[in-house]
Structure 1
Amino acid sequence: MTFDIVLEKLKSKSALVGVVGLGYVGLPLSMAFAEAGCRVLGFDVDPSKPAHIEEGQSYLKHITSERIERAVNQHLLSATTDFDRLSESDAILICVPTPLTRHMEPDLSYVENTARAIANGLRPGQLVVLESTTYPGTTSEVVKPILEATGLVCGKDFWLAFSPEREDPGNLDFSTATIPKVVGADDAEARALAIALYNIFAKQLVEVSSSATAEAVKLTENIFRSVNIALVNELKLIYGRMGIDVWEVIDAAKTKPFGFMPFYPGPGLGGHCIPIDPFYLTWKAREYNIATRFIELAGQINNNMPEHVINELVVALDAKSGRGLNGASVLVVGLAYKKNVDDTRESPALRLIELLQLRGAKVDYHDPFVPEIPKTREHPDLTGRQSIPWELSRISAYDAVLIATDHDGVDYRGLASAARLVVDTRNACARAGANLSNVVAA
């Protein structure tokens, strides 16, 4: 199939788009294409995801079942676990996880396995786009050789590009379609096809000169956040010792109309991006004998925050009741990695629960968005634990309450009034006007 034919299919929305990985990136992306009138075939190794989609049911809180059901009924969205059907797609988008190993090195097994699955049915005329966040060079150095092992030639028989996902679950101001889409490829035809592909739904496209440049864009965005969050976390420690409220400092500083952007401290980093992505560049930089000191220092500061929070809780508990953590009952409020989402990936709350239990505490949690702790690679022992009901009379029985995530809709005034001790890592009580003596910032 020639370049002109593929380009016309994309421009006319007659192309079939395959999306591999139907999680927090792949499902919203599939919906964006489907709601723009383009047919989508989703792929996932987890059979529950295609099953939910085929039944018109959502498994992500910020994607409604009504939207999925409408797209399915209009024959614009379907899903399968049969990866042999990848050959049906005119464009294939890879939206699979890119975690770190225990040694903080990139784990590209999901990307590599997906590339092999695509290669098994790769045919002339297909466009393949990697969306998974990774180090510069992955598209050309990892994905391309796997696809070219079929005997087909990139840039001639098929095309390859990179377009980083920019999802922000829970952010009502932006959606997949309204967030500017960065697109990069190593040849003009691949860029033109990728632009035509994302023009189907994206309001704004940002074209860059190569796949490596596009890969670097995504890492730069997340490293920027990681470093600045580490800075305010360190400032929180310093100002706390001085008796200065870092939240008040930030609120005042952000009134400056130029030269300052507010970032906020917390109990550690969560989500799939910020705790992980910076270390992809750290790993790649070693190939060029460059030390990524800012990135690694930011990682150390952010990774140490859960231990700092636990230490603050110990001090506050001793001052309040003269007891230690061993045998104490603690309620953790908020399990998701950020407010108003059900996403627990890399959530610092999970680490906080483990640290509390290691010190002998009896721990429960409450999260209106996470009724049950899902299975995770890092915290398998917590799988299946359930959120307790929100009852102020029950909350008063705990020795301490630790606010790890500041979901909207939680009665922080009632919580502060009912609890014996509240250790607040998100300034939730102060923002709710509950400036009581039993509330300690951490």
Structure 2
Amino acid sequence: MQSPLTSPTIEEQAKSTAPNGQVFPLPSEADYAAESERLRSLVAEQRLMGREIVVVMGVGFVGAVMAGVVADTVDQSGSPSKFVIGMQRPSPRSFWKIPTINQGICPVQAEDPEVAPLISRCVLDKKTLIATYSYEALALADVVVVDVQCDYHKKDFGNVRSGHAEIGALEDSLKVIGEYISPDCLVLIETTVPPGTTEYVAYPIIKKAFERRGLVQTSPVKHPKGGHGFTGQADVRDQKSDERSTKDEGRGTVAEQSISSANRFPPTASRSTKHEERRTEAAEPLLAHSFERVMPGRNYVSSIRDFWRVCSGINDQARQRVEKFLSEVLNVQDYPLTVLDRPLESETCKIVENSYRATILAFLNEWSLFSETNGVDLMKVIDAIKVRPTHDNIIFPGPGIGGYCLPKDGGLGVWAYHTLMGFEQDIFKITPQAIDINDTRALRPAQLTRDALRNMGKIVAASKIAVLGASYREDVGDTRYSGSEIVVRKLTEMGGDVVVHDPYVKHWFEFEQQETYPGAGHSRKEFFRNQDGLTDMRMAENLDQALRGADAVVLAVRHQEYQNLDPDTVVTQIGHPAAIIDCFGLLSDEQIKRYFELGCEVKGLGRGHVKRMKDQVKEKAPHTNLCMILGSGSPAMQWYRLRM
């Protein structure tokens, strides 16, 4: 049940602050009543225009843009065919997203230039997208798309087996959905979930809610003497509809404002009253699953709309409904749907897909260490392998992997096998080990920084260290589970004074709000000592500010801005020679040599050949020094070259 927040005892609880500083008061009891009336009026208008009502539950990283993609859908005549209601819980942390969307502004930052115009167009021009905090929207929906976060919390650093899936928020959302939706409403779960969630968690929750509400469906039965019964769809009825009030849902009643199926979906087929027989049975939820493959960056929208999708339904009707819905919303002509038999299969598909990727990345960790200790440049090795078409997707892992999916999804599968399905066998070996390797790989750059500084007669605890790159991948501003976070935390634990620059990140909330972000008690600060001061860390405004006076520079992310940094310029900005740590193969051999010539120390992940580069510079040093003394064009220098 939804209830408006009572009068807060702490002032901060009565408002929600957007990242840009704009403050929005949380809704009052009176606001709920007005909001419910607004929704009913808008939906009535949209139904007259023949539009399907779609509620997107959760307007975060995925849900906000998915809502825009659905709201932008048109029919064959080019007219909008969907009306979308984005729904978000009115908490102090998230409520600001609702008025932000209603202003035509996307609540998530994106590098894709298509995102902002998409949301603005749908809200302000086409008027096919709104946002709300009222559960009343669920009672009005034809389709509910669930984009509620499902996380995995690790108790110990580098030990995914010690963790557990956190599906409480998803379960709570499903309970609310079950209390409000009509039985003929399709519920599409897009969230990446532990395999079995749709069938073992979502189905029982919604089925039991339907039973409590007394929802039944009547199906036609052919008369044995000929003729046909009702030839349309099964007619869904709510036996308790007469008992339901029209009280505002904000007061907490369950689906209080009931719209009968007969009014919402008038039968399209004729009835035969002479021979008709009907069978009454418990209403079945229409549940479906289709995971997203969202990629942050400049193709954010395209990764939702113009990309291959896998879907499934819990029964034939749900499967048909989800295939129809996605075919209307996505570009299935160029990227056909794959329809699997049951949700367990599509859920497993997402987990295996990401576990495979995580395993390949973890596999290269040991070869990275091998390369560092045996004079091998792993970057050249990978380039040589990639010319083979069967191996062209091999990729260097950098300082660990990040993003929301790869660091956790395998853990969801392991947890589901033991918890949801109840098996005791320890069948998972590679999947959890890959996650553990990737989680701890980010410790290596801190070790290389320590070693490089030591070669220069310095220690981490007395050094300023500039980390270039906060996000988990190049040219995006997404910092979720980034390897750079672990680099910063480990160097800080060792006593280093760390400054960070990233052209795409203005606020690094994993540090600024580490007591509550990504959730209370779930910050990775818990795995390290000496972390409290990081709450005050702010991103450097520019590269010059970050580099000035640094004793070490960690090239942590392959941002375009960092890919061609001139060594002479960098050392000039720093003000003296420094330790340079290459985490992603950013430096060419020529750049490495030049850093050594400038008196710097260079180390890199998988770049064991730097020692060879250093030796070559040392061998060349006497010649270079003599050239500087005598002058490159002097007769004495010409005589020296002839003798050499």
Q: Same fold (TM over 0.5)?
A: yes
Decide whether the 8 Å contact of 1:268 with 1:304 is kept in 2. Answer: yes
1:184 to 2:312 alignment: yes
Alignment partner of 1:395 out of 539, 542, 547 = 547
3-state SS of paired residue (1:112): helix
Decide whether the 8 Å contact of 1:180 with 1:202 is kept in 2. Answer: no
3-state SS of paired residue (1:75): coil
Q: 1:392 to 1:411 in 2, by over 3 A?
A: farther
Decide whether the 8 Å contact of 1:416 with 1:434 is kept in 2. Answer: no
Alignment of 1:33-432 (within 5 A): 33-36=70-73, 37=80, 38-45=82-89, 46-58=94-106, 59-61=108-110, 62=112, 64-73=115-124, 74-101=126-153, 102=155, 103-150=162-209, 151=211, 152=215, 156-170=283-297, 172=299, 174-203=302-331, 204-259=336-391, 261-286=393-418, 287-288=422-423, 289-319=425-455, 321-374=456-509, 375=513, 376-377=517-518, 378-379=523-524, 381=532, 382-383=534-535, 385-392=537-544, 395-410=547-562, 412-414=564-566, 417-419=569-571, 420-430=578-588
AA aligned to 1:126 is C
- Aligned-residue offset at 1:198: 0.6
RMSD of aligned residue pairs (Cα, Å): 2.4
AA aligned to 2:508 is I
Mapped to 1, the partners of 2:68 and 2:172 lie a distance apart of 24
Mapped to 1, the partners of 2:477 and 2:69 lie a distance apart of 21
- Aligned-residue offset at 1:341: 1.4
Further displaced range: 209-218 or 148-157 = 148-157
Mapped to 2, the partners of 1:86 and 1:261 lie a distance apart of 43
Mapped to 1, the partners of 2:590 and 2:182 lie a distance apart of 58
Residues 327-383 of structure 1 deviation map (CA, whole Å, 9 limit, x = unaligned): 211111111111111111111211211111111111110011111112323157545
Q: 1:40 to 1:384 in 2, by over 3 A?
A: farther
AA aligned to 1:440 is K
Mapped to 1, the partners of 2:412 and 2:354 lie a distance apart of 11
AA aligned to 2:136 is D
Further displaced range: 369-378 or 427-436 = 427-436
Residues 179-221 of structure 1 deviation map (CA, whole Å, 9 limit, x = unaligned): 1111111211000000111112222211001000000110011
Decide whether the 8 Å contact of 2:293 with 2:303 is kept in 1. Answer: no
Structure 2 equivalent of residue 6 of structure 1:
none
Further displaced range: 189-198 or 367-376 = 367-376
AA aligned to 1:64 is V
Further displaced range: 252-261 or 150-159 = 150-159
Mapped to 2, the partners of 1:411 and 1:214 lie a distance apart of 39
Structure 1 equivalent of residue 260 of structure 2:
none
Mapped to 2, the partners of 1:196 and 1:67 lie a distance apart of 23
Q: 1:184 to 1:359 in 2, by over 3 A?
A: same
Residues 403-434 of structure 1 deviation map (CA, whole Å, 9 limit, x = unaligned): 22221234641367424222111112339966
- Aligned-residue offset at 1:93: 0.9
- Aligned-residue offset at 1:300: 2.0
- Unpaired segments ≥5 residues, structure 1: 1-8
- Aligned-residue offset at 1:157: 4.5
Further displaced range: 429-438 or 233-242 = 429-438
3-state SS of paired residue (2:339): strand
AA aligned to 1:216 is T
> Number of residues paired by the alignment?
432
Residues 290-349 of structure 1 deviation map (CA, whole Å, 9 limit, x = unaligned): 421011221221122121221111111111x21111121111111111111111111121
- Aligned-residue offset at 1:394: 5.5
Further displaced range: 64-73 or 133-142 = 64-73
Further displaced range: 87-96 or 420-429 = 420-429
Q: 1:206 to 1:384 in 2, by over 3 A?
A: farther
Mapped to 2, the partners of 1:34 and 1:346 lie a distance apart of 31
3-state SS of paired residue (1:429): coil
1:24 to 2:24 alignment: no
Mapped to 2, the partners of 1:411 and 1:260 lie a distance apart of 22
AA aligned to 1:405 is V
Decide whether the 8 Å contact of 2:206 with 2:285 is kept in 1. Answer: no
Q: 1:394 to 1:157 in 2, by over 3 A?
A: closer
Which is greater in Rg?
Answer: 2
Counting aligned pairs with the same residue, the percent is 25
Decide whether the 8 Å contact of 2:563 with 2:586 is kept in 1. Answer: no
Further displaced range: 410-419 or 175-184 = 410-419
Decide whether the 8 Å contact of 1:373 with 1:383 is kept in 2. Answer: no
TM-score scaled by structure 1?
Answer: 0.91
3-state SS of paired residue (2:473): coil
Q: 1:70 to 1:83 in 2, by over 3 A?
A: same
Further displaced range: 135-144 or 80-89 = 80-89
Q: 1:224 to 1:171 in 2, by over 3 A?
A: farther
Mapped to 1, the partners of 2:491 and 2:448 lie a distance apart of 12
- Aligned-residue offset at 1:123: 1.8
Further displaced range: 376-385 or 116-125 = 376-385
- Aligned-residue offset at 1:226: 0.5
Mapped to 2, the partners of 1:71 and 1:104 lie a distance apart of 40
AA aligned to 1:142 is V
AA aligned to 1:44 is Q
